[in-house]
């Protein structure tokens, strides 16, 4: 419809807000106030990125879900108009199907969906429980205070992905060390790149072994696709690396930032510590996913055909950013959205994104977090922060939001 075509982009450069915006100092769990203001003003607005480009920012739940579910919206970083990477420092390069569109995205994704089916993930629960109990034993046997990030939150997803991919026990130490360096705050970009290359080389080598001698693990099933001629060795390695990277820092930050949030909300922590109801633990996981919105820089996409939405036309070749964190605080969907309430029904949150790229690992992430939130505070009922809250350092600039370290005592 011609009369709803977008108006010209505002002339005055100051009229276009910069993205991302800073959070308020005293509200580390809340989205930036400027983002809330934009949400109040309407579902769509233009923003300016660090490189001067001006994609659309989509602030409301309904419009975000509509766009993320729309096949005219592309996740391919090479599509014209794709909003540039998060910061000048962010790495280059594509990582398997997360940056592809259907049908190739669907073809590759379906090769690795099997182990993430609900029943398969449930079968892993006892193994995850053992890992969590072992890490807590080590923590309790060690000195106080301890850094929960380093000693608990980061090792857990690393060990779980070892279990899933089929990394032999003897290589766990190598794997854990290197995956930690890949996301470590003090590592230089060179060290991170080096660790990433070593893990990739290791995975490529292990794939080679599983090609020759398959077992009952995910790497063997990926290797099977290579044998069948469906993908090549490089694509197989990228897939394994995507599964490793996508589930590592995300889960770790949900554990550490989640624990910090609970320590700051003692009534909620008490509910969790005193319950043996798995439904309440599961509900707490959904609520913390909603409330903490750790993938805070938004789902980024390019539009490949004009899309009419919310009285605007997003033109082919324009970029869109769906900031899920603000959709998870949309008062139309979540009443009193800024309150952390583990008893609320938060299941419709978009912390795992939406549309065909919605997190493949979500059943695993949920299960890991259920085991952690259901175990950690019961086994260490006196768990407490070892530093005042104002000394906790947040990852404001990082791709995934969280805390750099969380010194705890008990």
Q: Which residues, 79 to 138, sit near ligand HEM by CB under 6 A?
A: 97-98, 109
Site for another protein (CB under 8 A): which residue of 42, 69, 80, 91? 69
Q: Which does 299 bind (CB under 5 to 8 A by kind): ligand HEM, another protein, none?
A: ligand HEM
| 250 lies in the site for ligand HEM, by CB under 6 A | yes
Shorter beta-carbon distance to ligand HEM: residue 361 or 374: 361
Site string for another protein, 339-358 (x = CB under 8 A): --------xx---xxxxx-x
Q: Which does 69 bind (CB under 5 to 8 A by kind): another protein, ligand HEM, none?
A: another protein
| 183 lies in the site for ligand HEM, by CB under 6 A | no
Is residue 72 packed enough to be buried (19+ CB in 10 Å), middle (13-18) or exposed (0-12)? Answer: middle
Shorter beta-carbon distance to another protein: residue 115 or 196: 115
Q: Which residues, 111 to 130, sit near another protein by CB under 8 A?
A: 113-114, 116-121
Site for ligand HEM (CB under 6 A): which residue of 59, 220, 237, 251? 251
Count of residues near another protein by CB under 8 A: 26
Site for ligand HEM (CB under 6 A): which residue of 156, 242, 302, 320? 242
What Å distances lie between residue 68 and 5, 200, 360, CA to CA? Answer: 21, 30, 15
Return the DSSP state at 145: S
Q: Which does 351 bind (CB under 5 to 8 A by kind): another protein, ligand HEM, none?
A: ligand HEM
| 302 lies in the site for ligand HEM, by CB under 6 A | no
Cβ atoms 23, 34 nearer than 8 A: no
Cβ atoms 197, 189 nearer than 8 A: no
Q: How far apart are CA 232 and CA 164, in angstroms?
A: 21
Site for ligand HEM (CB under 6 A): which residue of 364, 367, 383, 398? 364
Sign of the torsion formed by the C-alpha atoms of 181, 152, 175 and 115: negative
Site for ligand HEM (CB under 6 A): which residue of 73, 246, 297, 327? 246
What phi and psi, each to the nearest 5 degrees, are found at residue 183? -120, 10
| 41 lies in the site for another protein, by CB under 8 A | no
Q: Which residue has the tokens 């398969």?
A: 120
Q: Which listed range, 9-17, 120-128, 142-150, 358-366, lies at the site for ligand HEM (CB under 6 A)?
A: 358-366
Q: How far apart are CA 324 and CA 298, in angstroms?
A: 6
Q: Kindly state the smallest distance separating residue 180's Cβ from ligand HEM, in Å.
A: 16
Our measurement of the distance from residue 192's CA atom to the centroid of its chain's CA atoms, rounded to an integer in Å, reads 19
What Å distances lie between residue 279 and 340, 343, 349, CA to CA? Answer: 17, 10, 17
Site for ligand HEM (CB under 6 A): which residue of 67, 73, 139, 254? 254
Please name the residues in contact with 95: beta carbons below 8 A apart, sequence gap of 6 or more. 238, 241, 242, 245
Buried-state track 325-359, b at ≥16 Cβ within 10 A, e below 16? bbbbbbeebbeebeebbbebebeebbbbbbbbbeb
Residue least distant from ligand HEM (Cβ): 361
E strand spans, 234-343: 299-303, 307-309, 312-314, 319-322
The neighbour count for residue 292, using CB atoms within 10 Å, is 23
Q: Which residues, 87 to 106, sit near another protein by CB under 8 A?
A: 106
Q: Kindly state the smallest distance separating residue 251's Cβ from ligand HEM, in Å.
A: 5
Q: Kindly state the smallest distance separating residue 115's Cβ from ligand HEM, in Å.
A: 9
Q: Hey, is 44 helix, strand or coil?
A: strand
Task: Give me the residues that bind ligand HEM (CB under 6 A), please.
Answer: 75, 97-98, 109, 161, 242-243, 246-247, 250-251, 254, 294-295, 299, 351-353, 357, 359-361, 364-365
Which residues of the chain form contacts with another protein (CB under 8 A)? 68-69, 106, 109-110, 113-114, 116-121, 347-348, 352-356, 358-360, 362-363, 366
């Amino acid at each position: 419809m011609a009369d709803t075509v977008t108006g010209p982009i505002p002339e005055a450069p100051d009229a276009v807000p910069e993205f991302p915006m800073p959070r308020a100092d005293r509200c580390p769990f809340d989205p930036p106030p400027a983002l809330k203001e934009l949400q109040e003003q309407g579902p769509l607005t233009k923003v300016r990125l660090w490189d001067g480009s001006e994609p659309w920012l989509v602030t409301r739940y309904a419009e975000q879900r509509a766009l993320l579910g729309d096949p005219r919206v592309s996740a391919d970083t090479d599509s014209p108009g794709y909003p540039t990477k998060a910061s000048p420092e962010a790495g280059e390069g594509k990582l398997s199907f997360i940056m592809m569109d259907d049908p190739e995205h669907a073809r590759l994704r379906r090769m690795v969906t099997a182990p993430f089916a609900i029943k398969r993930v449930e079968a892993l629960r006892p193994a995850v429980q053992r890992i969590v109990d072992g890490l807590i034993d080590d923590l309790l046997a060690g000195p106080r205070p301890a850094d929960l990030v380093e000693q608990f939150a980061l090792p857990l997803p690393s060990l779980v992905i070892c279990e899933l991919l089929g990394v032999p026990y003897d290589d766990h130490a190598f794997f854990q060390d290197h995956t930690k360096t890949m996301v470590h705050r003090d590592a230089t970009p060179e060290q991170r790149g080096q660790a990433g290359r070593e893990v990739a080389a290791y995975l490529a080598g292990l794939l080679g072994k599983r090609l020759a001698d398959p077992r009952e693990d995910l790497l063997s099933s990926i290797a099977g696709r290579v044998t069948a001629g469906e993908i090549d060795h490089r694509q197989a390695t990228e897939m394994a690396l995507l599964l490793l990277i996508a589930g590592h820092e995300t889960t770790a930050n949900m554990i550490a930032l989640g624990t910090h949030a609970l320590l700051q909300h003692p009534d909620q922590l008490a509910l969790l510590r005193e319950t043996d109801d798995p439904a309440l633990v599961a509900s707490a996981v959904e609520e913390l996913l909603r409330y903490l919105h750790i993938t805070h820089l938004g789902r980024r996409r390019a539009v490949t055909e004009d899309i009419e939405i919310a009285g605007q036309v997003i033109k082919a070749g324009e970029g869109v950013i769906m900031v899920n964190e603000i959709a998870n605080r949309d008062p139309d969907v979540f009443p009193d959205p800024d309150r952390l309430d583990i008893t609320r029904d938060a299941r419709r949150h978009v912390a795992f994104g939406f549309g065909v790229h919605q997190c493949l690992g979500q059943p695993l992430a949920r299960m890991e977090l259920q085991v952690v939130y259901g175990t950690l505070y019961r086994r260490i009922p006196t768990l407490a922060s070892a530093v005042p809250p104002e000394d906790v350092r947040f990852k404001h600039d990082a791709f995934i939001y969280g805390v750099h370290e969380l010194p705890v005592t008990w």
